Every structure is written in C-alpha cells, then in structure tokens.
Amino acid sequence: MTKIQYLKDNLNVLENEIIIYGSDKFKIDLKINQRLVNQKPGQLILVSAINPTSSGEGKTTVSIGLAQGFKKLGKNVMLALREPSMGPVFGMKGGATGGGMSELEPALDINMHFNGDLHAITAANNLLSALIDNHIYFGNKLKFKTIYWQRALDCNDRSLRTVVTTQREDKFNITAASEMMAILALAKDFKDLKDRLNSILIGVDEDGKDLFVKDLECMDSLAMILKDAIKPNLVFAKEMVPALVHAGPFANIAHGCNSVIATNTALRLSDYVITEAGFGADLGMEKFLHIKQPHLIQQVGVVVLVATIKALKLHGGVDESNLDEMNIEALKKGLTNLEKHIENVKKFGLNAVVAINKFPNDLDSEIDILYEWAHQMLVPIGLSEGFMKGGDGTKELAKLVIDTLSKKSHFKPLYDNNIPHQEKITQIAKELYGANAVELSKKAINKLKQYKDFNYPVCIAKTPLSLSGNPLLKGRPSDFILEISDVKISNGAKQIVCLTKGINTMPGLNEHPRALDFKINDEGELIS
C-alpha cells in the first residue's frame, strides 16, 4: 500500500481515482482531469534524440534517469512514457522500460501485455474489420467498393503485409502503427474517443461516396472494448518516481508519442513532466509538436536531445560491428548529425540540451571531445549516467535542464494545417531532413488531391536510421530526394499518413530475434 499512499499524499490523487491492477500497477480514472481542470499545469520537457543505431539511443533510460535526477533535487516530477509493443520486445530492439538503475517496475509486466491495453486496441481494430466483412457478406447494403481499413496484430510478422481472406484482399499493420492506436493516443477524453471512432474513414461506395464507422453504426461496441484501455496506466520507476505509461505508437511509422490524456494528467499532478517522442528530432519530435502538442494544456519548454558515442561514430562512417573501438576522427565527423538535430529544435523556436547517454565502455577522451565541441557551439551539454547510478548520475543534467527551462522559448510550428498537404511534406523534408526535393508517386498525388479538404497535419513514415529516407545514408546527408510512395488518411486520428519508399507498417523479425533467447523456469519466472 506504500505506492497508493504515495499517490494520495504526494500527487493529490484521490483513492476513488486509483484503479488497482495488483500491488504495483494501477490505472487512473479519467474523472481526475475533471476535478483538476483548473489546476495550473507543470512545465513540459520533451526527450528526443539523434538518429540512432539499430539498438536505439536509450531515450527511455535517459528520461527515467532525468526524472530521478529531478527528484534528487527535491522537485515534484512525473514521467509520461509510451507503453511497449511486443513487436520490438521479441524482435531486435527489446523492451521499453529503461534499464539498469533507471528502469520502470515491474519491467517484465510492462513489456508483456501491460494491463491489456494493446490487446484491447488490437481487438477493437479487428472487430471493425470483421464487421465490415460481415456487412458485405450479408448483402453489402452500404455498397462498399473500396475498403481502406486494415487489420492489426501486436507482433512483427512480414507474412501479414498482404493477405487474402475469403472475403477480399487485406493487409495487417502492427498495432502500434494502427489508426486505432493513434485515436487512443490523441483522444482528450472518452467523448472525444467516441467522436474519433465514428469519424474513421473505412472506405468508399460504388458512387465514390466516403463511408465512415458512423455509417456502419458500430462505434459503441468499439468504444466499449476501449473503455479501460483509455485510462492511463501508472507505475513507478526505481527511486519511487511516478510514471504514466500509456499508448505506444512507433515514431517511424506512426506519430510516436505517449497519450494526450496521460500527458495532460501528469501536467496537472506535478511541477515538471518529462515525456519522450520516439526516435530522433526528425521524426518523433516533429510529430509531437505538430500532431500532439495542439491537444495539450502546456507547450514544450525545452527539448533534451539524447546522443551516444556509438551513434556518433556510426554517423562518422564506422560500421555498426566496430562501434566499441576508439575512433576520434569518426566521432568528430558524426557530430554533423547532432548539429542538424539541434538546428531542427531551433527551427521550432525551442531551446535544446544535449544529454550524452554514457555507456560503461565510453572513454573519457571521447567524452572530452563532445564537451569541447559543445563549448565552441555554445550548446548546453550534460552526462546521463542513470543506467549505472540512478538519480545520482543525472542530478547535474537535471540542473542544466532546469536552467534552460528558465530561458524563454518562442514555439512556432513549421507549417499551417491549412496549406496544401504537399507543401507540408516539402517543408518537413527540406527544413528538417535536408532534402533537395520531394517526389510523389502518381498514387500519392491522387490521394493528396482526394484528401485536399482535410486540414490535418501530416505524419511521414520513414526510416529512423537516417535523416533521409535511405537508412544507409548516415551523418548529415544532402543532395537527396525524399520519395513518397503512398498516402493514407486517418480521419479519426485527424492526420494524413505519408509513406516513404520502402517503408512497411508491419515490421518483420530479424534473422535471430530476441524471442529465441528468452528463458523461463517452471514457476513462470524469467531467468534470462
């Protein structure tokens, strides 16, 4: 009961607002936001990164460590993080609970099935598919001609990218990249969730008229499946740091942010909220600022850019298998990638702090290079040693972030939602990625014409491993063209999804997935 008492005594959460899922996992009732509607929001800190290695930059570990550092300084702080998908858990990247001394608890439960949210999203998604097919089977009263809605599954399975059912051809998305996930992540309350579900564009009829969920009259059943999943999950990181872990879109193929409900709840409960956006400032940060932030009660006050020695070497030309070897020349060369991400933060009128996620084998001489560079560039920089030391390893970084928060920022979006979609895509590609131009397929051009009256932000799906659309182009590539192969509308999520050439919304497993390495004993306990 210690954690429940902490919620009541330190976070102003009432007992009837706490929904208990065992001894260490909770959900928070949505009525808390009605009670605290006039509460002055805390300050918002967004954690982003440079383009990562295939293993990631450790943004979640840094986010948790930074929150621990804030708490060590006596600050009232909360985390607002995405919940894991089992795709990466059993694939290559792994879980999403941090690590070492900066980890969410209970890590295994959070990485696996966490309170059932992703399963509920998957079930709602596939119930809609089943209802569409059932409607067609029994006479097709709505005269469906083309169906846009696709099925979903929370695992990596490239075989499901294209399927043929007894009813029609179909495709699967991974659940994290589904519109159902985006809707849950962007809804501000349960009524908004219902409205968004009703607005899902599921296809067109024989006369070319758009067909929506409201035409199928099944919104209430979908909402019923999601009635608990929409409530944010609350757990604690080590050192008793509270964390609202809710919704889990991928930032390469979706908008990549924790839910609006969870972030707004955290902002009402604490003085500082640390949240993350997936992958780099070219992907997650941009989508956070254009797609999610308009629904928040507070704007971002500072952006923390996570970088690692390994990733900088990778962008300096070192093969991923040799990143543990000392290479000062490559390290310096790779700084061009970090410089571009800092520029991207400034393009939005925001201030940046660079956090070096320190690994045990990083050399002091390598870190000194980064401090020398930062001094010359007048860039605030600090070490994040949360993995090894918890809050004691991030206190100085926390002080640096607090100091940067005191400096005024002047947020400005990169584009207005009312301009043509192609101009939005071009703005992002040229300003944030560094592209020379954008090339759209005929299919993409036709889709953009079809959706020209939907004044939504764009959500570009591209590789996270490069600023460009080509994962092999490292550093700060230039003189490239961003190719858009297809466009989809997520009318319930209110965004236009643009797929770059070669991108898939259903990932595949790598040659030796992590699913082959887990070991569990006869008592059901994970042993490796």
> ∠ at Cα 291 (286, 292), nearest 5°?
100
Is 55 annotated in a binding site? The answer is: yes
Determine if residue 169 is labeled as part of a ligand binding site. no
Contact 8, 17 (CB under 8 A): no
Strand pairing partners for 272?
43, 77
Q: Tokens for 214?
A: 């409201």
User: Does 59 carry a binding-site annotation?
Assistant: yes
The DSSP secondary structure of 341-354, one letter per residue, reads: HHHHHHHTT--EEE
- Interatomic CA distance for residues 190 and 230, integer angstroms: 7
Q: In what order do the strands lie in the sheet with 458-461?
A: 437-440, 481-490, 495-500, 458-461
* Residue 57 assigned to a binding site: yes
- In angstroms, the CA 133 to CA 137 distance is 6
Task: Say if residues 328 and 309 touch (Cβ distance below 8 Å).
Answer: no
**What are the structure tokens assigned to 340, written together?**
């571009």
CB 234, CB 242: distance < 8 Å: yes
Query: Which residues, 6+ apart, have CB-to-CB distance to 496 below 8 Å?
Result: 421, 448, 451, 454, 456, 457, 458, 459, 487, 488, 489, 490
Q: Does residue 162 have a known ligand-binding role? A: no
Was 58 annotated as part of a binding site? yes
CA distance 435 to 429: 5
Determine the longest span between alpha carbons in the chain, in angstroms: 72
- Sequence-separated (6 or more) residues with CB below 8 Å from residue 132: 144, 147, 149, 202, 203, 216
Beta pairing class for 381-384 and 102-105: unpaired
Phi and psi for 37 in degrees, rounded to 5?
A: -60, -30
Beta strands in 167-225 (DSSP E): 169-170, 172-174, 201-205, 210-212
- Residue ranges of the binding site for ATP: 53-60
- Residue ranges of the binding site: 53-60
